[in-house]
Amino acid sequence: MRKFSEIIKLAEKHHGKAGLKAKLTEHSGGKPASLKQSDDRFLAGMSKAVFSAGFSWDVIEKKWPGFEEAFDHFDPHKVAFYADRDVARLLKDTRIVRNGAKIQATIANARFVVDTAKDHGSFSRFLKSWPTTDQVGLLEHFKKNASHLGPSGAMYFLRFNGWDAFILSPDVTKALIREKVVSKAPTSKADMKAVQAAFNAWTAESGLPQKDVSRILSFSVGPSA
């Protein structure tokens, strides 16, 4: 595993020093929100990740105003108490993607947000309390307690809702394999532990947030990264 300063030089070789700096200021998928946002925005962010899985992000983004209206602007206290009649209503609502399992997941996630806020004061406080040195543990928490929010969806949810998350995109995975952190796409607990250890080492060395370390790893793969 190389020092991160060497990986930065590799990314600069592919994109140029100014080019890399410019890429790091771009916000693909929209500008990340702040952790200071209210609980309804976290539920909205979870729901966007859930509905986007296996679907076009652009399509979901265009339909999102309709989602907001259909789901009572993702007020978790309202959505958590949706009954069968609400599910039936949503399954007929052409403003959203009418997927029954994902509608049920949104209701379950509203209860998750409400319960978490009850324990921590707000969902924001919960996320702020979880150290970035243990993203793997947070992903496991979502897998166990949220609905339809596996590691990939949870990583995107966290990144675009203010938590400093790395994302294991195809290019980041290639870079991790190149650096011999893992030998294949990480799925096992041992591999994910190794990934976390690598990110912890690189963020400590570079002083950069995990999201920037993640993106630089992606850019270090080549011009198409």
- CATH number of the domain bearing residue 71: 1.10.340.30
Task: With beta carbons less than 8 A apart as the criterion, state whether 155 and 165 touch.
Answer: yes
DSSP state of 167: -
- At residue 62 the predicted structure's pLDDT band, cuts being 50, 70 and 90, is very high
User: Cα(206)–Cα(23) distance, rounded to whole angstroms?
Assistant: 18
Residue 152 has pLDDT above 50, yes or no: yes
Residue 27 has pLDDT above 70, yes or no: no
How far does the chain reach from its first CA to its final CA, in angstroms? 20
Do 150 and 176 lie in one domain? The reply is no
User: Cα(78)–Cα(130) distance, rounded to whole angstroms?
Assistant: 27
Among the three residues 159, 180, 208, which one is the final residue of a domain in this structure?
A: 159
Do 53 and 133 lie in one domain? The reply is yes
Domain count, the chain: 2
Do 25 and 43 lie in one domain? The reply is no
Among the three residues 159, 182, 211, which one is the final residue of a domain in this structure?
A: 159
Q: Please state the rounded mean pLDDT for residues 74-80.
A: 98
Do 142 and 179 lie in one domain? The reply is no
171, part of any domain: yes
Among the three residues 159, 177, 205, which one is the final residue of a domain in this structure?
A: 159
224, part of any domain: no
Do 91 and 147 lie in one domain? The reply is yes
User: Cα(80)–Cα(41) distance, rounded to whole angstroms?
Assistant: 14
Q: 52 is in which domain, residue-wise?
A: 39-159
Residue 155 has pLDDT above 50, yes or no: yes
Query: 10 Å Cβ neighbour count for 131?
Result: 10
Do 87 and 126 lie in one domain? The reply is yes
- Residue 223: the pLDDT is 65
Q: Please state the rounded mean pLDDT for residues 206-220.
A: 97
Percentage of the chain beyond pLDDT 90 is 90
Do 12 and 95 lie in one domain? The reply is no
- At residue 225 the predicted structure's pLDDT band, cuts being 50, 70 and 90, is very low
